[in-house]
Structure 1
Amino acid sequence: MLKRSGIPPYPQFYELLYTYATGVNPTLNNRINSIFRAGDSPSLSLAEALYNEFLKSDVNDRISNVSERMHARIEAVHDAIDTAMTTANSYSGSLQAASGDLGREITAEAMKQLAERLLSETRRMQDTNQALEIQLEASRDDIASLQRDLDDVRRESMLDPLTKIANRKSFDEGLATAIAEASKGSSPLCLLLLDIDHFKNFNDTYGHQTGDQVLRLVAMTLKSNIKGKDLAARYGGEEFVAILPSTDIEGAMIAAENIRKAIQAKELLKRSTNEKLGRITASFGVAAFRPSDTGATLIERADRCLYAAKHAGRNRVISEIDLAAIQAA
């Protein structure tokens, strides 16, 4: 896509189109799709503008920005309400004074002046109420926009910034939810834990930028090989994890094997030199949920299976069933 659009392959533009390709930011995808539909020609300045808008600022900056906008909007509403209350109190005082005047005999001229004064106060009250209505209407639209921004920020806060899949926080919440649902019913639940083989050596040999690309590649491969309710996440470092609801141990083993093969099938190429860097592999541990499980115990069993896969020579899948057979032997 970079080549077709004539956009330089700088890291930030790769990240922009990588994020678009993964579909993890629906707002960005809608914007880019609308540009394509409009027939606009991609340009360096357009790519920079999209990157600055969607990816450059971090989550804390965006939260701060939303907070400031929310504070300004609330202050504006408070000011409008204070003005309306002051006008309403003044109008109430005018009505009480007019009531007292009407209780006495007054001349026709005095009655005319009283009516004009009340009419003027009434118009002022109407103007103030109209201004308040306009302010509240604008606030409603702004607050709806702020809510969308907060939703976007929350989604981003649940993503790993490098790989753009779920982060550890999102995984912890997802696992707790999956366990709660599995505990209620009889549907199975499995956990898949994977670790990139010899990643440190690869990182040290070819550099951190290439290592980061490997992490992104594994993340995308993992995400593209799981189904709807499943959750792929970066567990930490070169470890990844997938929560597989409604999947039994046999199905989880098949899924893990498919992911293992998909990762191994990708040959790495250093584009700057066309140097072939070989293939990467990963080891997998698979554990099934038990009624007595907590998140920690389920992760611990998957980790033991992963350790066994590493110990057995790497680039393989070992489940609890396999581990039991190995220990029995």
Structure 2
Amino acid sequence: MILRYPQSKEQTAELLRVVLARMGQHDAAFNPLTYTVWFEYAAGMNAQLNQALDQLVQAHIRLTDADLRDLYQAHIADVDPQAMHRIGTELQQVMATLAGAAGSTGSNADQFGVQLGTLAVGLQVLNNKLTAPMILQALESTALMRDSAQALESEIKFSQSEIGRLQSELTRVRDESRIDALTQVLNRKGFDEKLASMLARPAPEGRLHGLIMFDIDYFKKVNDTHGHVMGDRVLQALGEVLKSCIPPHSSASVARYGGEEFAMLVPATTPDECHKLAELVRTRTKALKVRDRRTQAVVLTVTISGGMALHQAGEDAHSLTVRADAALYRSKQVGRDHITCV
């Protein structure tokens, strides 16, 4: 994997000072997206972005949220949301530090103001015409400093809240992009990520990671005979069946692999456990009855075929998927409504 942001802690600290100064010169909010645009600009890692930004800056344009969003979409849109989340977290930590400094400044200003006020009263009693006005001027300056610090602290706290909201939104969008809208199980992208994550963690001693591929038997006939609306209902029903078969507290997950093909990822399992799970899905699917919503009459029943493969040492995700898919194909060849293990 190519690391998008390879800079060291020291380098990013230096870039941070430049980025915050740039952000302060424009109207856009202090949020992860804005920070990312200015970070890549300051780091000189995105020539097209730098050229576009230079043109805007040289035209003395104060950049807005919309401007920064357009620049992000045009020049950085392929960045992983997880990188955005990390940047947002780092920016939020900076905001917290600044908020603490602002709060400390405000507190010190209040304390200094009290001391000056006491001194001014004492001097006025002594009728010191030379010193008292100077102290009163210092009091006014202290009050201004305190008000500025409080305003800064308030603005930073608001920015922190906004960053938190944006991080939540990024997480929600990222999660939604991995869910199949029809069946509400993982889509192909979500499957690929889950499979890679599963294989990246070694299974405990005596256990193996498992993959089961399922395919609805004669699904084309369902669509041709009953229409695509009924076909969608069958897909939704199978998604529910698959989820219902996952044991409590299990880390297994379900995905729609494509069309009428589904997959179940079963981490740290045994051949017997994995086969029993596949058979449970098959028998529950066979018992499924799709009914007419008006008459409640049974319209059709459904069967599935399955192929199961257990991860072998050194095997990559593609090879495991190919073996599970080949096992599924063999189940189709022997008459369907069957589970084949390899």
**1:271 match: secondary structure:** coil
Cα shift readout 1:28-66 (whole Å, capped 9, x = no counterpart): xxxxxxxxxxxxxxxxxxxxxxxxxxxxxxxxxxx9xx9
Which among 223, 238, 242 is matched to residue 222 of structure 1? 242
AA matched with 2:239 = A
Letter in 2 for 1:259: V
| Partners of 1:192 and 1:242 within 8 A in 2 | yes
Q: What are the equivalent positions in structure 2 for 1:257-268 lying under 5 Å apart?
A: 257-268=279-290
Matches within 5 A, 1:1-329: 108-182=128-202, 186-227=206-247, 228-320=250-342
Q: Aligned letter for 2:315?
A: D
Kindly indicate whether the alpha-carbon contact (under 8 Å) linking 1:249 and 1:286 is maintained by their aligned counterparts in 2: no
Post-superposition Cα deviations, 1:289-326, rounded to whole Å, max 9, x if no partner, equal: 11031111111111111001111111111111xxxxxx
Superposed CA deviations along residues 195-221 of structure 1, whole A, max 9, x for unmatched, are 011111211222222211111110110
How many matched pairs? 227
Write the distance in 2 (CA, Å) between the matches of 1:185 and 1:166.
Answer: 28
Between 1:273-282 and 1:238-247, the stretch displaced more is 273-282
* Structure 2 partner of 1:59: none
Give the AA of the match of 2:335. G
Q: Cα 1:164–1:236, aligned 2, differ >3 Å: closer, same or farther?
A: same
Q: Which digits, 9 at most, give the CA deviation of each residue in 1:122-168, with x for residues without a partner? A: 10110111111122223333333333333322222221111111111
Shift of 1:110: 4.5
State the shift of 1:185 in Å.
5.4
Q: 1:268–1:279: 8 Å Cα contact kept in structure 2?
A: yes
Q: Secondary structure at the match of 2:136?
A: helix
What is residue 13 of structure 1 aligned with on the other side? none
Percent identity over the alignment is 35
Q: Deviations over 1:240-269 (max 9, x none)?
A: 001111212222111111110101101111
Equivalent in the alignment of 1:40: none
Query: 1:273: Cα distance to partner?
Result: 4.7
Task: Flag structure 1 segments of 5+ consecutive residues without an equivalent.
Answer: 1-62, 92-106, 321-329
Q: Tell me the amino acid that sits aligned with residue 235 of structure 2.
A: L
| Structure 1 CA distance for aligned equivalents of residues 312 and 154 of structure 2 | 58
Give the deviation of 1:275 after TM superposition: 4.4
